[in-house]
A and B are shown apart, each in its own frame.
Chain A
Amino acid sequence: MSASLALDSLTKVFDGAAAPALDGVSLTVDAGECLAILGPSGSGKSSVLRAIAGLDAPTAGRILVDGADVAGVAPERRGMAMVFQRPLLFPHLSVLDNVAFAATVAGQPKREARADARQFLELVQLEGFGERPVTALSGGQEQRVAIARALAARPRVLLLDEPFSALDPELRTDMHALLRQIRQQLNPTIVMVTHDRDEAAVVADRVALLSAGRLLQHDTVERLYTRPVALAVARLMGGRIELPGEVRDGVHRSALGDIAAPDGESWPEGPGMLVVRHEAVHVSTLEAAVPVGMVGVEVVVADRRARGPRAEITLASGEAMLEAEVPASRPLVVGQRATAHIPRSACTVVPLDER
């Protein structure tokens, strides 16, 4: 049920479009791995999925499933099942017959197909719903049935195209748990498209970050946050601290001061933007001692914005600006002086320009 997948310089140019929808995207997904394709609207995420599924033919490049090129193979023969944002359950079939669809069209006897479908309904915690018409389901239930239907087709790769984005946050959390459970039980190879960073972080082993049809970085979630390879990656991942400066002798010098590369890492010499996650910045009292591995910077609270249980703080150190998050209960007020502690291990330097 799980195959490896590789994209080799996948390019897609739609008729009449000025820029390619996909521009030489190459990546690999191991068997049983869950890859999230993350990116803003129009970044080409769905185009990748449609090309993998065989719904759109790529303009150039190859798609390999278990090492074999699938060019020219019709969607029905590729062994990919896809779950879309809309559940698209067949309205003329019962819930059970929807899940049994793949087996039915493969020519299995109805009884066997339905018995098989029942197992998958059970897997998505909808046992007993089989006889209902699909119109009698809630949004979350519909999407569960869509997932059961896709899994019952025993896909070599399961493709998910923003399957949970139409659900409310609580249901979405349930669906993430369901996906985890499915991965434990069946270990399918999954490629999931999402525009939600948090969802990608919760669900996926690795993330491919797309922007304007180009693959910016294909990495683990953690590295995407802490070791972006470009300024665009840092920004798309929600990074808010950017300190322009220059690296000399492995030390980044900016308006904030000198910060040395983390142990065991080296930064390219020359102009570079130091980026660090605002979540990593600690705000301490002025007198607090700077812990080992941290850089201490004297700052003034320049702005404070309430964010429910947290508060976002802007800190000024001369011309340099830092961002941090603190619990809402912390009595830091604008104008107050403090020390920002920046872990060296959380810092990275990327080229100054966006690319």
Chain B
Amino acid sequence: MSVALVAPAVAIAAFVVVGGIGMSLVQSLGLLPLVGVPSLSLDAYLANGDELLTGLGLSLGIATASTVLSCVIGLTAAVVITQGRITGRLVAALSALTIPVPHLIGAAAVGLLISDAGVLPRMLGIDGTDWPDLVGGPWWVAVVLEYTWKESAFVALVVAGVLASRVARYDETAALLGASRARRLRHVVIPLATPAVIVSAIIIFVYTFGSYEVAWLLGRPYPEPLPVLAFRLFDAISLTSRPEAAAVAVITTAVSLVVVALGMALLRRTPLWR
């Protein structure tokens, strides 16, 4: 009976997830060419070997940096929010305002703010040639900054919810046992917030690893992160590029799944999970 109740939801999810991934997999293995005879091969994976490896490294770097920064800043913001003072309310309002802004708008705004011809260097009176290459530079600063801005707000709201509902009474108990604010943070608040932070981190990592538009808008033309590479190949004139695009998508998906598995394993090891 319960199976029947969830069946519609499962069917739709499976259609998109399994169907989409399945199609990509089949296409990447040469079994669904746009022209010619289907034949099983890894050619699509090997065709852009170097670009694929560079892209993988780059995407991992961007996702890791964005995730770590978002979690640190978001957790800090959550602690400030739950202190309940005026600053807390301000941070909560800012976080809530950040959530509905689409990444594309955010990326455009970050570009307008911190590019060498942007608002910030002009306001500070710094010449464009002396301004660091934040947009399109070698360190992908603008991309990581945009992700961090938006995802730290996500972490802040998720963790603040957990702190306010589940952790507040523990915090009071710890205070009554003589723990100072710093000790409470270290011994109670952070350990109890860890599962929520891990879950948020998994979501952020997978999102930033597979997201296209921010890296495309604020990154440099070469090297390309995996999603940008995949989209360029997908959109290319050459019809043989389609399986190559699918191969990049399959690798992106596989890495994401591994990260989710690792994250869930980590989550299960936290004492709170039981």
Provide the bound-state CA to CA distance between A343 and B272, in Å.
60
Partner of A102, one of B177, B184, B188: B177
Say if the beta carbon of B85 comes within 8 Å of chain A: no
Chain B residue at minimum C-beta to C-beta distance from A91? B272
Provide the bound-state CA to CA distance between A101 and B187, in Å.
9
Contact assessment for B174 and A80 in the assembled complex, using a CB-CB cutoff below 8 Å: no
Q: How distant is A94 from chain B, measured CB to nearest CB, in Å?
A: 9
Q: Identify which of residues 170-229 in chain B touch chain A, using a CB-to-CB cut-off of 8 Å.
A: 170, 172-181, 183-184, 187-188, 191-192
Once A91-B272, A92-B272 are accepted as A-B contacts, the answer to whether A105 and B179 lie under 8 Å apart by CB is yes
Q: Identify which of residues 143-183 in chain B touch chain A, using a CB-to-CB cut-off of 8 Å.
A: 169-170, 172-181, 183
Provide the bound-state CA to CA distance between A77 and B175, in Å.
8
Chain A residue at minimum C-beta to C-beta distance from B190? A92
Provide the bound-state CA to CA distance between A106 and B169, in Å.
20
* Residue among B178, B180, B181 with the highest chain A CB neighbour number at 10 A: B178
Contact assessment for B178 and A88 in the assembled complex, using a CB-CB cutoff below 8 Å: no
Contact assessment for A88 and B187 in the assembled complex, using a CB-CB cutoff below 8 Å: no
Once A84-B169, A91-B192, A92-B192 are accepted as A-B contacts, the answer to whether A53 and B176 lie under 8 Å apart by CB is yes
Q: How distant is A193 from chain B, measured CB to nearest CB, in Å?
A: 14
Using Cβ atoms and an 8 Å threshold, which residues of chain A touch B181? 76
Q: How distant is A45 from chain B, measured CB to nearest CB, in Å?
A: 17
Chain B residue at minimum C-beta to C-beta distance from A155? B176
Using Cβ atoms and an 8 Å threshold, which residues of chain A touch B191? 90, 92
Provide the bound-state CA to CA distance between A126 and B81, in Å.
39
Once A92-B272, A150-B177 are accepted as A-B contacts, the answer to whether A75 and B183 lie under 8 Å apart by CB is no
Provide the bound-state CA to CA distance between A261 and B163, in Å.
60
Using Cβ atoms and an 8 Å threshold, which residues of chain B touch A78? 176
Contact assessment for A75 and B170 in the assembled complex, using a CB-CB cutoff below 8 Å: no
Say if the beta carbon of A273 comes within 8 Å of chain B: no
- The count of chain A contact residues (Cβ–Cβ below 8 Å) is 29
Contact assessment for A76 and B173 in the assembled complex, using a CB-CB cutoff below 8 Å: no
Q: Is the interface of A mostly helix, strand, loop or mixed?
A: mixed
Say if the beta carbon of A24 comes within 8 Å of chain B: no
Contact assessment for A92 and B271 in the assembled complex, using a CB-CB cutoff below 8 Å: yes
Contact assessment for B272 and A101 in the assembled complex, using a CB-CB cutoff below 8 Å: no
Q: Is the interface of B mostly helix, strand, loop or mixed?
A: helix
Provide the bound-state CA to CA distance between A78 and B178, in Å.
8
Once A91-B192, A92-B191, A105-B187 are accepted as A-B contacts, the answer to whether A76 and B172 lie under 8 Å apart by CB is no
Provide the bound-state CA to CA distance between A150 and B169, in Å.
15
Q: How distant is A49 from chain B, measured CB to nearest CB, in Å?
A: 11
- Residues 244-272 of chain B, each 1 if its beta carbon lies under 8 Å from chain A, else 0: 00000000000000000000000000111
Chain B residue at minimum C-beta to C-beta distance from A79? B178
Using Cβ atoms and an 8 Å threshold, which residues of chain B touch A101? 174, 177, 179, 187
Using Cβ atoms and an 8 Å threshold, which residues of chain B touch A106? 178
Provide the bound-state CA to CA distance between A104 and B174, in Å.
11
Once A91-B192, A92-B192, A104-B187 are accepted as A-B contacts, the answer to whether A149 and B272 lie under 8 Å apart by CB is no
Q: How distant is B182 from chain A, measured CB to nearest CB, in Å?
A: 10
Partner of A86, one of B169, B175, B177: B169
- Residues 70-86 of chain A, each 1 if its beta carbon lies under 8 Å from chain B, else 0: 00001111111110101
Contact assessment for A90 and B175 in the assembled complex, using a CB-CB cutoff below 8 Å: no
Using Cβ atoms and an 8 Å threshold, which residues of chain B touch A250? none
Once A55-B172, A75-B172 are accepted as A-B contacts, the answer to whether A133 and B179 lie under 8 Å apart by CB is no
Q: How distant is A87 from chain B, measured CB to nearest CB, in Å?
A: 9
Once A84-B169, A104-B187, A105-B187 are accepted as A-B contacts, the answer to whether A75 and B176 lie under 8 Å apart by CB is yes
Contact assessment for B176 and A81 in the assembled complex, using a CB-CB cutoff below 8 Å: yes
Provide the bound-state CA to CA distance between A135 and B274, in Å.
8
Provide the bound-state CA to CA distance between A135 and B184, in Å.
21
* A-B CB contact pairs (8 Å), 18 listed: A53-B176, A75-B175, A79-B178, A80-B176, A84-B169, A86-B169, A90-B174, A90-B192, A93-B271, A101-B174, A102-B177, A102-B179, A105-B180, A105-B187, A133-B271, A150-B176, A150-B177, A153-B177
Residues of A participating in the B interface, judged by any CB pair closer than 8 Å: 53, 55, 74-82, 84, 86, 88, 90-93, 101-102, 104-106, 133, 135, 149-150, 153, 159
Known pairs A88-B170, A153-B177; list 13 more (Cβ under 8 Å).
A55-B175, A75-B172, A79-B178, A86-B169, A90-B173, A92-B272, A101-B174, A101-B179, A102-B179, A104-B187, A105-B178, A105-B180, A105-B187
